[in-house]
Structure 1
Amino acid sequence: MVDPIVGMKRLTKVLMDGGSGLNITYAETLDAMGIDRSRIRPTRMEILTFEVVGFHGTYHTILGHLCYVKFMAVPNNTYLKLRMPGPRGVITVGTFIERAYECEVECYKHATAIVASKELATIREEIIEEAPNLKWLARSFEPMEGTKEVLIDPNSSEDKVVLIGTTLSSK
C-alpha cells in the first residue's frame, strides 16, 4: 500500500486549481515517488481518483475542487500552502516562492514551445501548399498551353516578345 501522506510530502510542485474538475498526476511523478502503479489499491481511507497522464507537465500534480471538498482542504495561494485535517492534526503542504517562480518560468517555456511548434507546423503546411510543382519546374523553359505573346517594348521597332502564361495565379 502507498501512504498518501508521505507521497504528498515528497511533492514539491502542486498546482492548486480550485476550478478544475479533475485531479491530475503525471506518470513521471509516480515514478519519482517510487510508486509502483501495479501496487496501487483502494484503502479504507478517503478515495480520491487521479487521472494519470503520460506526458510531461510543469507540476507534479494538479488538485481540483473535488480534492478540496473531499479532504476539507483549504488552499492559500498567497502563502503557497494547502492545509487539511489529518489523523494526527493539521497537515500542511507548501513550497517556497522561489520554487513557485521556477514552476512559472518552466510553465512559460513549456507553453512557448507548444505555441512555437504549432506555428512551425502551420508554416510548414503553408510552404508545402505554396511549393512549386517540381515536374513543372523541370520543363519551365518550354512553351506551355495557355501562353500569350507580349511585346517587351511596344514603342520599339524590334519585335521582341515574351511568352506569359495565361493560367498563372494572382500570386
Structure 2
Amino acid sequence: MDGGSSLNILYVDTLDAMHIPRSELRLVGSPFHRVFPGAWAYLLRQIDLLVMFGNRANFRSEVLTFEVVDFPGSYHAILGRPCYAKFMAIPNYTNLRLKMLGPNDVITVSSAFSHAFMCNHEHFKLATMVINSSELPRLRESPTPATPDCNKPNSSMAFHQLKETKAVGIDPTDPTKMVRIRTRLLAK
C-alpha cells in the first residue's frame, strides 16, 4: 500500500513469476520519477490485470492498470491511489489494513508488522544501493566544491545569533539538547 503513489506498480520479476508474456505489455512513452530519491526516470510499459480482494463468499474484482518497471524491488507490486479509487478502499497505515465494501460485508486485507518491517528494510537497502551506484560516478567526475569560510566576520554565510532568542529543551531526558527560537516576530 502506498497512498503517496499516483501509480500502481508491478515489478518485472513479479510479471515473470506470474508467467505473463512480455508481449502483453503496452509501450508508454512517459517517464516517471522519485521511485528512489536521486534516481533517474525509467520508461514504463503498462498492463491491465484483473485484481480480486476477499474470499468466495465476499469478494470484489476490478481491472487495474499497472506500470511495469524493469528494476528490482522488495515488493511484488505497489498499490497506489488509482487502486484505492477504483475499489473505493480505505488504507490504514497504522494497522496495516486495507478495507473496502464487498457485496456481503466489509473486506479487510491485513499484513503483519514483521513482514512490513522486513520489506521496508529491504527497500531501504535496495534504494541505498541504487542511489550510491548512480551518484558515485557523478561525484567522482565533479570537482570538489569550494567550502565557504564562515569564520570571516563579513561572510554572508556566517551565523549570527539574535539577541531576541531563548533556549528550549527538545529532549526531556537530556537537558543538553537545546534549540534556540526567536522571541519576537517581525511586523510585515
| TMscore range, shorter length | 0.5 to 0.7
1:106 matched to 2:122:
yes
In the TM superposition, what whole-angstrom CA distance separates every residue of 1:11-53 from its partner, at most 9, and x where no partner exists? xxxxx22232211111211333x3424678777x633211111
Q: Please list the CA deviations of residues 94-119 of structure 1 after superposition, one character each: whole Å capped at 9, or x if unmatched.
A: 21111111111111111211222134
Q: Which residue of 1 aligns with 2:165?
A: none
What SS does the corresponding residue of 2:65 show, helix, strand or coil? coil
Matches within 5 A, 1:91-170: 91-126=107-142
TM-score, with structure 1 as normaliser: 0.54
Query: Percent of counterpart pairs with the same letter?
Result: 53
Shift in Å, 1:60: 1.6
Give the match for residue 20 of structure 2.
Answer: 36
User: What RMSD, in angstroms, separates the aligned Cα atoms of the two structures?
Assistant: 2.7
- Paired AA for residue 16 in structure 2: D
For the 8 Å contact 2:12–2:69, the answer to whether it is kept is yes
SS at match of 1:31: helix
The residue number in structure 1 matching 2:5 is 20
The structure where helix makes up a greater share of residues is 1
Unaligned runs of 5+ in 1: 1-15, 128-171
